[in-house]
Amino acid sequence: MRTYVPKPEEVQKRWYVVDARGKVLGRLASQIAAVLRGKHKPYFSPHMDTGDYVIVVNAEKVRVTGRKLEQKVYRHHTGYPGGLREVSLQELLSKHPERVIEQAVWGMLPHNRLGRKLLRKLKVYAGPEHRHHAQKPEPLEI
pLDDT range class, residue 105, cuts 50, 70, 90: very high
Is pLDDT at 1 greater than 90 in this prediction? no
CA 94 centroid distance within chain: 19
Is CATH 3.40.50.300 correct for 13-64+98-139? Answer: no
pLDDT range class, residue 121, cuts 50, 70, 90: very high
Is pLDDT at 3 greater than 90 in this prediction? no
Q: What string of H, E and C letters represents the secondary structure of 56-108?
A: EECHHHCECCCCHHHHCEEEEECCCCCCEEEEEHHHHHHHCHHHHHHHHHHCC
Domain ranges of the chain: 13-64+98-139
Helix (H, G, I), strand (E, B) or coil at 15: strand
Is pLDDT at 142 greater than 90 in this prediction? no
Residue 17 host element (H or E): strand 15-19
pTM: 0.94
Flag the least confident range among 6-10, 76-80, 122-126, 133-137.
6-10
